[in-house]
Amino acid sequence: MVLIRGNADRELVSLARGEVDDVGDPIAPWAAAQLRPDQLDLLATLPYPVTLSVEGFGPVMFCHAVPDDDEQVVLVDTRLPRWAEVLAGLPDDVTTLVCGHTHMPFVRLAHRRLIVNPGSVGMPYGRAGAHWALLADGAVTLGRTMFDVAAVRAEIVAAGSPLAPAWVEEYLDEVASDAEAIEVFGPRDGRSSS
């Protein structure tokens, strides 16, 4: 198994180690305080990005947001000049990029490269459920696995954060639509400056 660092991993380590005192997420300080030293060490050493050989695809680059930054936003409808910027540093033999950060699943082609966003297991936008992608035999399958929302909600609230009820309401009970998420994230992909 290969784990890849995301922005929340980096932020939790920074909070837990006292390097910063605010990352703009009200539940993050509580979450950071729950981590054991071995968990912090694991998060601190996660690589970013990672390139792996995938049968039927060749070298595939995996990253949380874009290859050189774990917070930049790209979307299914991001304009091609922005995709050119994102893809500019990729080696020629990397023709598939798997990214995330926006928690919305999609597959698209940009500048002859296949872009895959599997979505999110625990904080989905668009539709409820745990979203995932499978790359096999040269094909991409986007999937969604439903789970017992009430049981997960109860477990998260029982963990003790006073902010947990609001968090589960936002991410488990009232999943934002894809249109709502694109409206919020869209200006962050540079489209407002074009």
65 and 96 within one domain:
yes
Query: pLDDT tens digits, residue range 109-124?
Result: 999 999 999 999 989 9
Q: Worst-scoring range by mean pLDDT, 68-82, 93-107, 174-188?
A: 174-188
pTM of the model: 0.93
What residue numbers bound the domain in which 33 lies? 1-47
What is the phi/psi pair of residue 162, to 5°? -65, -15
Residues 69 and 89 in one domain: yes
Q: Looking at the DSSP assignment, which residues form a beta bridge with residue 106? A: 117
pLDDT in tens, 1-37: 999 999 999 999 999 999 999 999 999 999 999 999 9
> Same domain for 184 and 92?
yes
Would you state the pLDDT for residue 194?
A: 45
194: in domain: no
Same domain? 74 vs 57: yes
Q: Domain with 113 in it: what CATH number?
A: 3.60.21.10
Q: Cα dist. 115→60, 61, 100, 105, 121 in Å?
A: 10, 10, 10, 10, 19
Within 8 A by CB and 6+ apart from 18, the residues are none
Coil/strand/helix, residue 39? helix
